[in-house]
Structure 1
């Protein structure tokens, strides 16, 4: 495996374009001379007339999160098609399945006893509502029981109550805060306490004899008024917000400290009461879809360069960095290409996928439904890991990816590539984001992987994934990078090699295998 900065590839720098700071790398495999005037125009437009902030405001502030099965997802799709059309780009919505339709409404949560306090929390997706009423009830905690029989005996006591099902965290300070200010002794003590509490809580849940889904269903069936949980993201103020297990009663995620407050009061026997109103709506079965946009190729219209990002999001916030930023990158890149490269050699296709968050469903459906296109894809460039600058591209197990990725990156300004590390040939990705759907089908598909900006803990699937977390300088950088890569891949006289590496044997000695294509879930949430 070769791991290096693209501008240290065996000292193959041949020339520097002073006006753009662009280092042109010519790899031995083929001489591909980019149109430097065109590239300068892309850079100037992407830098001086970027549409990213306007697009982000319209999508993330005006429309908001794009949970599969919600009206907001359809509104966003219509907006994207209209926006592409305003740039003279053909776009369409492609249905590939159906999903349980659901729409979030106002959720209000208060503690009314032993004192009054409005609580910070939100309803989890696809959970039931309170029937247009405010429900007030006492709280109870999943008990410590010896076995499933003891739990079954306790279960009827939840009728009409709010049930707490998460472990209370011993600290709301992330580990980096402890490491900065805590003493060695206090840090070790905190971590030991947390580990002990976690082990004890896991045992408590295990002794019920039920999985997470079965536990939620059992509480619902026993007449619980609502389920309360808290899934801390290990960052100040951030909780992970996913879908609910129960379907007929509300499931509410409370912030770490508000959950801890209610839990401690319940545990100490003060019998707190909460009031809850959750006004979500069930919308039946609705279509789910991808948004596709394209600039038709002039010489090889049946060969494709694909710009890829998932359009859907969870709805804890506005889905800004997961994956609003990836969506904005691909839309802006196509705008730049349409303006300065309106007649590409190969067709440039943008795919904004639906239901990535539930298992790469939109991109898997596209791969399954479009074998002729998939057979003729030159390359896929996918972006889906936050707001940061692209800092890594690996070869995804394609033996000769070093050659063509190197050629294409050679046209990108040094100001961008100086941050990028490459590793070739790498190993094929089997999940994580939509590039994996294409890799499994043998398509050269690459993740434009970004630096962190605390993505994993702070904004990924959390209640803090909002417009203000976007670093637009970095997103602008990525849009320019993507546009130039797409131009180079389209112009390349050679078809990108799909020859795979030999996958090493696993730990048991069994032969390594390339990931296999998987079918999408085309009827989500309807069982």
Structure 2
């Protein structure tokens, strides 16, 4: 026992010579980010100035070029690396007006890659998928949609989120609502199943029959929040309406009032366009061919401006690079940041980087990824790397306690097979870690929604994350040798070993069938 204690003291003395130098840089990191943070300005330029970053859009390319220029302005070498091409598409205006039985402008927007309305828009009656006996009855009904807009989403029983019911409703009323909601959803799904068409086939069948457009509503279980994804129509527009306005139209149709809307949804097809990752580097002085990597996907869906998915991860990593260039300009290892394209369609940019740079993978000391909202880091998993507790623990111990005190950790943990870009690297055997954030109602209110905008960013939390990541990158860069990459094969639910996630190739030509 005494021997082990002395050995521990010896290790403390051995590392003691480095502690003062390390603390000096750490103090500078904290001071620079606390007193001179550029997060708000970077966030404003990206989210407000450029906007959403849907792969294949002009804004995506503009964002890549902006990031390269921003890095070069800080004295950091940066470049755009093309990894594929995508269907080019440009969003125009969306105006949706109910003109009968009374007049109201409706809240909604066309889905990504939606075809355009005729110039000036088109007016037509709104109908819904009726209750039909089977697919033969659907085929018989189908010609009646010509010249009409068709609603294909389930109506919502309530426009109030569950937490609002829990606060104010009686227990009996809340239970009754949930039962009604379950029954309503089941009945609508059965109605759709009887058409004989799948989720993506149904809109195609409707547009082929002459429908003017498709109306959906994908409520995100929060006040005013809808998920905005992509259209599957090829000839007519698909628009998503707010819960409130979709419910209004639905009830009018159901009541036989025959509502009429005028829809003007404009968009532009731009052919196939190149897709990129933005890469920036601060070159290492002693081990330039070894890397510590910062990781965040650059693209977004375009219902809002992609502020928390993944604008916050993006500006965090940019700010970490700016701070490190300022206070740690000559790192031992090369510090590289990857702003990946087309994460939202399947981790394509990061998978392409792994595939295109196989020689780099064994030389990556560690990778830190952030991609789930604006909150301070709340969870860190070892991703199945056996010794991750030892080195991550040491690095995190240098982060101010007020930042790390509430972080939950799991070591060695299990490897992530998807979800965000760190998984692309984990599959290649890279110690890649997700800095997972506190929720801030992410899944209800900002994840892929129309409300994912600058005003939802909690800059104090992002600032803490910058300090944490910058210190950990610094520590990883200064580490004497390469960390252990030994992995633990995950155990399945049956108690038997499974397999390490496989490296997967990206979609390099996307948005086309």
Q: Is the 8 A contact 1:26 1:410 kept in 2?
A: no
Q: Does 1:163 align with 2:150?
A: yes
Q: Does 1:49 align with 2:19?
A: no
Partner of 1:18: none
Q: Does 1:517 align with 2:503?
A: yes
Q: Is the 8 A contact 1:308 1:350 kept in 2?
A: yes
Partner of 2:199: 212
Partner of 1:361: 348
Please point out which of 426, 429, 438 is paired with 1:451.
438
Q: Is the 8 A contact 2:125 2:258 kept in 1?
A: yes
Matches within 5 A, 1:187-226: 187-226=174-213
The separation in 1 between residues aligned to 2:385 and 2:16, in whole angstroms, is: 18
Offset, 1:31: 9.5
The separation in 2 between residues aligned to 1:505 and 1:320, in whole angstroms, is: 36
Q: Is the 8 A contact 1:313 1:319 kept in 2?
A: yes
Q: Does 1:269 align with 2:256?
A: yes
Residues 406 and 46 (structure 1 numbering): CA distance in 2 closer, same or farther, change over 3 Å? same
The separation in 1 between residues aligned to 2:312 and 2:486, in whole angstroms, is: 32
Please point out which of 81, 97, 104 is paired with 2:68.
81
Matches within 5 A, 1:288-299: 288-299=275-286
The 3-state SS of whatever aligns with 1:342 is: coil
Offset, 1:26: 6.7
Residues 489 and 30 (structure 1 numbering): CA distance in 2 closer, same or farther, change over 3 Å? farther
Q: Is the 8 A contact 1:32 1:492 kept in 2?
A: no
The 3-state SS of whatever aligns with 1:378 is: strand
Offset, 1:131: 2.8
Q: Does 1:93 align with 2:80?
A: yes
Offset, 1:184: 0.8
Show CA shifts across 1:428-464 (max 9, x none). Answer: 0001100000011111000001101000111000000
Partner of 1:492: 479
Q: Is the 8 A contact 1:27 1:406 kept in 2?
A: no
Show CA shifts across 1:181-232 (max 9, x none). Answer: 0011110110010000011011111111111111111111111100000000
Please point out which of 217, 224, 228 is paired with 1:241.
228
My pick for the range that moved more, 146-155 or 113-122, is 146-155
| Structure 1, gaps ≥5 residues long | 1-10, 16-24
The separation in 2 between residues aligned to 1:31 and 1:516, in whole angstroms, is: 42
The separation in 2 between residues aligned to 1:315 and 1:337, in whole angstroms, is: 31
Residues 185 and 486 (structure 1 numbering): CA distance in 2 closer, same or farther, change over 3 Å? same
The separation in 2 between residues aligned to 1:38 and 1:443, in whole angstroms, is: 26
Please point out which of 47, 54, 74 is paired with 1:60.
47
The separation in 1 between residues aligned to 2:135 and 2:293, in whole angstroms, is: 52
Runs of 4+ in 1 over 6 A off after TM superposition: 25-32
Residues 168 and 215 (structure 1 numbering): CA distance in 2 closer, same or farther, change over 3 Å? same
The separation in 2 between residues aligned to 1:249 and 1:209, in whole angstroms, is: 21
The separation in 2 between residues aligned to 1:419 and 1:516, in whole angstroms, is: 33
Q: Is the 8 A contact 1:237 1:255 kept in 2?
A: yes
TM-score, normalised by the number of residues in structure 2: 0.96
Show CA shifts across 1:6-56 (max 9, x none). Answer: xxxxx9xx99xxxxxxxxx97999997361111111101101100000000
The separation in 2 between residues aligned to 1:264 and 1:119, in whole angstroms, is: 15
Q: How many residues of Structure 1 are paired with residues of Structure 2 in the alignment?
A: 505
Please point out which of 155, 158, 167 is paired with 1:180.
167
Offset, 1:494: 2.2
The 3-state SS of whatever aligns with 2:276 is: strand
Partner of 2:139: 152
Q: Is the 8 A contact 2:72 2:78 kept in 1?
A: yes
The separation in 2 between residues aligned to 1:173 and 1:276, in whole angstroms, is: 27
The separation in 2 between residues aligned to 1:112 and 1:511, in whole angstroms, is: 62
Show CA shifts across 1:246-268 (max 9, x none). Answer: 12210000000100000100111
The separation in 2 between residues aligned to 1:148 and 1:473, in whole angstroms, is: 55
The 3-state SS of whatever aligns with 2:28 is: helix
Partner of 1:6: none
Q: Does 1:278 align with 2:290?
A: no
Please point out which of 406, 415, 428 is paired with 1:419.
406
The separation in 2 between residues aligned to 1:461 and 1:342, in whole angstroms, is: 36
The separation in 2 between residues aligned to 1:134 and 1:51, in whole angstroms, is: 43
The 3-state SS of whatever aligns with 2:115 is: coil
Q: Is the 8 A contact 1:506 1:512 kept in 2?
A: no
The separation in 1 between residues aligned to 2:418 and 2:28, in whole angstroms, is: 36
Q: Does 1:330 align with 2:322?
A: no
The separation in 1 between residues aligned to 2:193 and 2:118, in whole angstroms, is: 32
My pick for the range that moved more, 348-357 or 511-520, is 511-520
Q: Is the 8 A contact 1:398 1:499 kept in 2?
A: yes
Q: Does 1:40 align with 2:36?
A: no
